[in-house]
């Protein structure tokens, strides 16, 4: 079953069309990679999926419903490209706000928060002010707030970005664990070996168009597919 359906999305900023008819779908239970050069339109697509910005045309279905439906929003966790949090609070205080917005029993929430915080190795920093977090700590905290509600679908915009090699491995392992538990993960990245290692399928987006859907049997060639396509289209035109 398709959990996320992106149908012919177009989006312009001013006179510049940055998404030129983007279509792809993500199946329930898979890990799906979203790769493309800088400025290709990955984050814009993800923000549209999350209904943070609106497309000019085309539609997005989540769990078979319009993405603007509040009922589906609760089932999705999101890590933005530049996680920004109200910084004058500690990590734990921020989680407390989050808990209040969720219909999850308090003790269960903190049990889960403790579990994921330890796994992501941010547990030691939860009593520090978020304003004191380093880049990688913010990234780890961003991931924690996305997973703590154990949503059916996780949308992660460059989850490995800014992380040290151990952090990257932790995130890759976490994505695989979520999949084991029946969750679906859609994430963007520039780290192609990670795509090969942890994804079931992936798609390539260049200059606002999906150029390739890469099936599992072909994932070991993702680097070649990516480089060849960029060469073909010409990065100069793209950038
Ligand atoms: N709010 C905005 N106003 C104007 N242009 C924008 C805006 N947001 C994005 N763009 C443009 O849209 C294009 C796609 O940007 P987007 O952030 O989606 O790329 P990306 O694939 O996520 O790139 P990266 O790999 O660098 O994160 C870029 O040309 C960017 O300049
Ligand atoms: Mg981006």
SS3 annotation, the chain:
CEEEEEEEEEEEECCEEEEEEEEEEEECCCEEEEECCCCCCHHHHHHHHCCCCCCCEEEEEECCEECCCHHHHCCEEEECCCCCCCCCCEHHHHHHHHHHHCCCCHHHHHHHHHHHHHHHCCHHHCCCEHHHCCHHHHHHHHHHHHHCCCCCEEEEECCCCCCCHHHHHHHHHHHHHHHHCCCEEEEECCCHHHHHHHCCEEEEEECCEEEEEECHHHHHHHHHHHHHHHHHHCHHHHC
Residue 23's pLDDT is what?
Answer: 98
pLDDT at residue 92, rounded to an integer: 96
Query: Ligand 2 centre and the CA of 41: distance in Å?
Result: 7
Please state, in angstroms and rounded to a whole number, the distance separating the CA atoms of residues 202 and 191.
12
CA of 44 to the centre of ligand 2 (A): 7
Band of pLDDT at residue 49, cut at 50, 70 and 90:
very high
> 92 with 133: CB under 8 angstroms?
no
Q: Which of 150, 179, 202 is the last residue of a domain?
A: 150
Please check whether residues 90 and 69 belong to one and the same domain: no
Select from 15, 39, 42, 1 the least CA-distant residue to 203.
Answer: 42
The mean pLDDT of 170-187, rounded to a whole number, is: 97
103 lines ligand 1 (CB under 6 A): no
Residue 63 has pLDDT above 50, yes or no: yes
Nearest partner of 178 among 211, 213, 150, judged by Cα: 150
Same domain as 158, residue 146 = no
- Same domain? For 66 and 181 the reply is yes
Tokens found for residue 148: 């703590």
**18 CB near ligand 1 (under 6 Å):** yes
CA angle 65, 67, 73 (to 5 degrees): 100
Q: Does residue 24 fall inside a structural domain?
A: yes
Q: What is the 3-state secondary structure (H, E, C) of 46-81?
A: HHHHCCCCCCCEEEEEECCEECCCHHHHCCEEEECC
Residue 127 sits in the same domain as residue 42? no
Structural domain contains residue 197? yes
**Residue 159 to residue 136: CA distance in whole angstroms:** 10
Say whether both 51 and 61 belong to one domain: yes
State the pLDDT confidence band at 178, using cuts at 50, 70 and 90.
Answer: very high
Instruction: Indicate whether 51 pLDDT > 50.
Output: yes
Residue 136 domain-assigned (yes or no): yes
Q: Is 165 in the same domain as 138?
A: no
Any domain includes 80? no
Whether residue 29 has its Cβ less than 6 Å from ligand 1? no
**pLDDT band at residue 238 under the 50/70/90 scheme:** very low
160 and 234 share one domain: yes
- Nearest CA owner, ligand 1 atom 9: 44
Query: Does some domain include residue 63?
Result: yes
Residue 239 has pLDDT above 50, yes or no: no
Q: State the pLDDT confidence band at 84, using cuts at 50, 70 and 90.
A: confident
CATH at 22: 3.40.50.300
Q: Is residue 58 part of a domain?
A: yes
Instruction: Give residue 156 CA to ligand 2 midpoint distance, Å.
Output: 10
Domain end residue (candidates: 135, 150, 165): 150
Residue 127 lies in a domain: yes
> Both 92 and 65 in a single domain?
no
Interior/surface letters 36-54, b for 16+ CB within 10 angstroms, e for the rest? bbeebbbbbbbbbbbbeee
Total tally of structural domains belonging to the chain: 2
Same domain, yes or no, for 173 and 60? Answer: yes
Q: Are residues 188 and 209 in the same domain?
A: yes
Range of the domain at 89: 85-150
Residues 101 and 187 occupy one common structural domain: no
Claim: this prediction has a pTM higher than 0.85: yes
Atom from ligand 1 closest to the CA of residue 13: 4
pLDDT of residue 120: 97
Same domain, 59 and 177: yes
């Amino acid at each position: 079953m398709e959990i996320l359906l992106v149908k012919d999305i177009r989006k312009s900023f001013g006179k510049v069309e940055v998404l030129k008819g983007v279509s792809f779908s993500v199946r329930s239970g898979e890990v799906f990679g979203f790769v493309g050069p800088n400025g290709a339109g990955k984050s814009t697509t993800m923000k549209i999926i999350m209904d943070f910005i609106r497309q000019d045309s085309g539609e997005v279905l989540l769990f078979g419903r319009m993405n603007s439906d509040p009922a589906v929003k609760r089932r999705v966790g999101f890590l933005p490209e530049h996680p920004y949090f109200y910084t004058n609070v500690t990590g734990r205080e921020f989680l407390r706000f989050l808990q209040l917005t969720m219909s999850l029993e308090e003790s269960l929430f903190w049990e889960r928060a403790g579990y994921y915080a330890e796994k992501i190795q941010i547990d030691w920093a939860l009593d520090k002010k978020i304003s004191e977090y380093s880049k990688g700590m913010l990234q780890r905290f961003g991931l924690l707030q996305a997973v703590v509600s154990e949503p059916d679908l996780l949308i992660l915009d460059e989850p490995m970005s800014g992380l040290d090699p151990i952090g990257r491995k932790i995130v890759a392992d976490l994505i695989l664990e979520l999949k084991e538990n029946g969750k679906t993960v859609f994430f963007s990245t520039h780290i192609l070996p990670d795509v090969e290692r942890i994804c079931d399928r992936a798609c390539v987006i260049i200059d606002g168009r999906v150029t390739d859907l890469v099936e599992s049997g072909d994932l070991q060639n993702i680097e070649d597919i990516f480089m060849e396509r960029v060469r073909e289209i010409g990065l100069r035109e793209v950038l």
